[in-house]
Amino acid sequence: VVLPGFPQGFRWGVSTASYQIEGAVREDGRGPSIWDTFTHQPGRIKNGDTGDVACDHYHRWPEDVALMADLGIDAYRFSIAWPRVQPTGRGTPNTAGLGFYDRLVDALLEHGIKPLPTLLHWDLPQALQDAGGWMNRDTAYHFADYSAVVTARLGDRVKSWITLNEPIVHLAYGYAFGMHAPGEALMFDAMPVAHHQLLAHGLATAVLRGSGAEEVLIANNCTPVRAASEQPEDAAAAEIYDAFHNRLFLDPILLGTYPDLSAMGLPADPEFVEPGDLEIISTRIDGLGVNYYNPTRIAAADPAATGLPFDFREFEGVPRTAFGWPVIPEGLTELLVGLKERYGDALPPITITENGCSTADEPAAADEDGTVGAVHDAARIEYLESHINALYRAIEAGVDVRGYLTWSLLDNFEWAEGYSQRFGLVRVDFETLRRIPKDSYHWYRAALAAQRKG
Ligand code: FCB
| Residue 414 counted as an annotated binding residue | yes
pLDDT over 90, % of the chain: 94
Reduced DSSP (H G I as helix, E B as strand, rest coil) percent helix, strand, coil of the chain, to 5: 45, 15, 40
Q: How far apart are CA 444 and CA 177, in angstroms?
A: 36
> What is the 353 CA–ligand 1 centroid distance (Å)?
10
Using alpha carbons, select from 17, 214, 202, 250 the residue that is nearest to residue 120: 17
Contact 228, 298 (CB under 8 A): yes
pLDDT in the model for residue 438? 96
pLDDT in the model for residue 303? 86
Q: Look at ligand 1, atom 9, and give the residue with the nearest C-alpha.
A: 17
Note the residue count of the chain.
454
| Residue 443 counted as an annotated binding residue | no
Query: Residue 430: is its pLDDT beyond 70?
Result: yes
Contact 157, 105 (CB under 8 A): yes
pLDDT in the model for residue 2? 74
User: Alpha-carbon dihedral of residues 444, 449, 451, 454, nearest 10 degrees?
Assistant: -160
**Is 0.95 exceeded by the ipTM?**
yes
Contact 249, 291 (CB under 8 A): no
Q: How far is CA 302 from the centre of its chain?
A: 31
Mean pLDDT, rounded, for 160-175: 98
User: Strands 350-354 and 11-15: what pairing?
Assistant: unpaired
417 band by pLDDT with thresholds 50, 70 and 90: very high
Q: Please choose from 179, 223, 249, 291 the residue to mutate so as to test ligand 1's pocket, defined by most ligand atoms within 8 A of CB.
A: 291
Mean pLDDT, rounded, for 182-197: 97
373 band by pLDDT with thresholds 50, 70 and 90: confident
Which residues are catalytically annotated?
166, 354
Mean residue pLDDT of the chain comes to 97
What does the pLDDT look like over 25-79, one tens digit per residue?
999 999 999 999 999 999 999 999 999 999 999 999 999 999 999 999 999 999 9
Q: Please choose from 19, 290, 407, 419 the residue to mutate so as to test ligand 1's pocket, defined by most ligand atoms within 8 A of CB.
A: 407
> What is the 269 CA–ligand 1 centroid distance (Å)?
31
Determine the atom of ligand 1 nearest the C-alpha atom of 323.
6
What does the pLDDT look like over 344-353, one tens digit per residue?
999 999 999 9
Query: Residue 160: is its pLDDT beyond 70?
Result: yes
Instruction: Tell me the pTM.
Output: 0.98
Mean pLDDT, rounded, for 318-325: 98
| Residue 8 counted as an annotated binding residue | no
Residues in Cβ contact with 68 at an 8 Å cutoff, skipping those fewer than 6 apart: 14, 76, 108, 111, 113, 409
Query: Residue 454: is its pLDDT beyond 80?
Result: no
State the CATH class of domain 11-453. alpha beta
357 band by pLDDT with thresholds 50, 70 and 90: very high
Beta bridge partners of 326: 320
